[in-house]
Amino acid sequence: MSIEPFRVDIAPAELDDLYARLDLTRWPEELPGVGWAYGVPLNHLKDLVQYWRHDYDWRKAEAELNEWEQFTTTIDGARVHFAHVRSPEPDATPLLITHGWPGSIVEFQRIAGPLTDPRRYGGEPGDAFHLVMPSIPGFTLSGPTRETGWEAIRVARAFADLMERLGYDRYGVQGGDWGAVISREQGRLYPERVVGVHLNLIPGAGVTSEPTEAELAALDPKERARTLASWHRFEAWLKDKQGYADLQATRPQTLAYALTDSPVGQLAWIAEKFEEWSGEAPIDRDHLLTNVSLYWFTRTAGSAGRIYYERHHAAYWGSPIEPSATPTAFADFPEDNFIPLRRIAELTNNIVRWTEYPRGGHFAALEEPDLLVADIRAFFRGVSQV
């Protein structure tokens, strides 16, 4: 039950090892003129590696992370790392924010300040939050896990235990990617504790089979067009983008050898997703490299990938999603991987706010922090107060 203070402090020998491996990279050949179709282009990755090796400042990144108060505790046999950033506003709402794959708490560096101290950023003090930002068990500073079974529902229960240990009886949750799955489960499992669920990805709300002519005919023109767009994007996902998830859901250990032994391999595996899943606003490469470095230094490529395996092999996998009664908001950033449909989401979620934005992708907290912060504030302003 103890909670111990924590600071990120990577040993100098780890940095020396990283630099030596980067210097000794064996580069593959590539086909001419194919762009991103076969994966990360060679010149793109070489530029990133050059910057990582010679210009990127890990110690600066480490100091920035350590501006947050951080802690570790053991829950259900797993080490759980988290940042706890309390607002200067005493009546702030507790908010648990959960990252996804291939992310980390680095994703929240652009939103933590405005959420905890809105007065400083030109906002209203009544919109302040006390932030709890855990690393998912198995991911970066919460890894590696030492036993099987760490899928999303188990993580949701562990994070509920974490909030209880911190003395938060009523709180909100927010997440995208795996963070959305975990946050939704918290709302479903603990409606007496969770005042609201804010998501920038909504699980199970897209089209996964081709709609029939009869189904389309029953919809108004706008919904018909969105339904077809949802189906076409899902088709494209299955054709060209599903491979990483299949590998991690079936053979995460085999993949782990390559990613844990090669920093360039680890970089390519994550950089591809940051490129393909983001929108027009470029993600700062320092944020990308801090994220990748955390995976590299903690050797958690394999244990982070295992969440796909555990979910895919859980007893409930393939069963219908159980409904959640907790008030839920969705911020729709159009360049994300899937196009969700509100009519499907409402079958299993208590949707009280649905906002479609003109831009932004999968990593909303890094790409469009102002839009995400405003949406989080607006939602929790309207749900029952803690």
Task: Just list the catalytic residues.
Answer: 177, 308, 362
> Rounded to whole angstroms, how far apart are CA atoms 335 and 105?
22
Q: How far is CA 201 from CA 158, 161, 177, 252, in A?
A: 21, 24, 6, 24
Give the C-alpha separation, 177 to 118, whole Å: 26
Taking a C-beta distance cutoff of 8 angstroms, is the pair 5, 70 a contact? yes
Q: How many CB atoms are located within 10 Å of the residue 120 CB?
A: 12
Q: How far apart are CA 72 and CA 79, in angstroms?
A: 7
CB 158 within 8 A of CB 78: yes
Query: In sequence order, which residues have a C-beta less than 8 Å from that of residue 264 and are 6 or more positions away?
Result: 21, 22, 25, 45, 49
Backbone angles phi, psi at 82, to 5 degrees: -155, 150
- The span from the CA of 380 to the CA of 126, in Å, is 10
